[in-house]
């Protein structure tokens, strides 16, 4: 008696979604925090910031900010999977998963997709708030931004799995992902357009390769194409290809680590 690869993967996805459901109070708190962030802080910030010269008057900073703060939230929630995986390792859940009668490839892929989808679903209410504050958007913009967000989230969880299962330390996980969460968001076009960053060379080049920049600028390009295209870091095709390639690469890395390197124990 053995389950099929597809069913095993779906069950692993279900595992992560069940985890998220158990954290529903935490989810609700984050959504509330997000609503306050975009309604009070976002509006206050917009009152102080204006685009000058390079874009039309129809694009204001508030719209720019909304998609940025959603992307940063999606990134943070995806990264927070690291703490979940670390806790699972400490409680022996990862060892238990390693003994299941499924392929390691399926295990790693299922956890990456499950963790990514859980993070993505977690942020859907926030996306809805953003959409409402944007006054809606073209269907293709909504479809592309949602699809790109899901792909991005799966890729980030792939990275998280690779790093957490390699460092095998709760303390190292806390430090590493605390830094990643804080630094990566800043070194991107989440809150500042690339043209502004170009005045500070290291920031600019970091933003160019940063997947957050690609995700947020892809979404902005589809939502405010005419106004935003001069600010985006690359063409939509390039950004989409970058996100897909990165997600595939990071998930492949997670598969490699789980299949070839990962052993139980050694955490504490």
Partner 1 sequence: MGVAVKIAGFTKKFGNVVAVNNLNLEIYEGEMFGLLGPNGSGKSTTLLTIATVYKPTSGDIYVFGHSVTKEDDIVRGYVGIAFQEPKAMWVDTPYELLLWHAKIVGYSSSGAKQVVREVMEKLELWEHRNKQFYQLSGGTRKKLEIAKVLIQRPKLAIFDEPTAQVDVLTKHALWDVVRAMRDEGSTIIVATNDMFEAERICERIAIIYKGELRALGTVKELKDRVPGGDVVEVSFEGSKERVEKVLSKLDGMGKLILQNDRIVAYLNRGEERAAEIVSTLLEAGVRVKRIMVQEPTLDDVFFYFTGARLGES
Contacting residues toward partner 1, per CB under 8 A? 1-3, 7-8, 11-12, 14-15, 18-19, 22, 87-88, 91-93, 95-96, 98-104, 263-266
DSSP 3: -
Distance in Å, CB of 118 to partner 1, minimum? 15
Distance in Å, CB of 79 to partner 1, minimum? 20
d(CA 102, CA 264): 16
Spatial neighbors of 150 by CB under 8 A, at least 6 apart, are 116, 117, 120
Cβ proximity of 139 and 238 under 8 Å: no
Q: Name the residue nearer to partner 1 (CB basis): 93 or 196.
A: 93
Q: Name the residue nearer to partner 1 (CB basis): 1 or 201.
A: 1
Q: Name the residue nearer to partner 1 (CB basis): 5 or 60.
A: 5
Q: Name the residue nearer to partner 1 (CB basis): 202 or 266.
A: 266
Distance in Å, CB of 89 to partner 1, minimum? 11
Spatial neighbors of 126 by CB under 8 A, at least 6 apart, are 30, 31, 34, 70, 73
Coil, helix or strand at residue 62? helix
Distance in Å, CB of 261 to partner 1, minimum? 9
Cβ proximity of 185 and 75 under 8 Å: yes
Q: Name the residue nearer to partner 1 (CB basis): 12 or 160.
A: 12
Cβ proximity of 257 and 166 under 8 Å: yes
Distance in Å, CB of 115 to partner 1, minimum? 15
């Amino acid at each position: 008696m053995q389950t099929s690869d597809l069913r095993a993967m779906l069950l692993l996805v279900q595992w992560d979604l069940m985890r998220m459901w158990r954290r529903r109070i935490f989810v609700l708190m984050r959504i509330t925090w997000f609503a306050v962030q975009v309604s009070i802080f976002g509006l206050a910030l917009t009152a102080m910031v204006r685009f000058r010269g390079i874009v039309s008057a129809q694009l204001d900073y508030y719209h720019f900010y909304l998609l940025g703060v959603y992307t940063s939230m999606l990134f943070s929630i995806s990264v927070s999977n690291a703490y979940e995986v670390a806790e699972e390792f400490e409680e022996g859940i990862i060892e238990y998963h390693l003994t299941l009668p499924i392929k390691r490839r399926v295990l790693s892929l299922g956890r990456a997709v499950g963790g990514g989808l859980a993070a993505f679903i977690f942020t859907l209410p926030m996306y809805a708030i953003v959409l409402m504050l944007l006054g809606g958007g073209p269907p293709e913009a909504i479809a592309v931004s949602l699809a790109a967000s899901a792909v991005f989230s799966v890729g980030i969880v792939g990275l998280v799995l690779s790093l957490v299962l390699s460092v095998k330390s709760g303390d190292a996980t806390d430090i590493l992902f605390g830094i990643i969460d804080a630094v990566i968001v800043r070194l991107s076009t989440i809150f500042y357009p690339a043209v502004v960053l170009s005045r500070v060379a290291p920031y600019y080049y970091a933003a160019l390769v940063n997947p957050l920049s690609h995700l947020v600028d892809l979404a902005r390009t589809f939502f405010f194409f005419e106004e935003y295209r001069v600010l985006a870091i690359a063409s939509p095709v390039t950004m989409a290809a970058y996100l897909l390639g990165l997600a595939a690469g990071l998930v492949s890395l997670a598969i490699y680590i789980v299949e070839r390197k990962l052993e139980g124990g050694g955490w504490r």
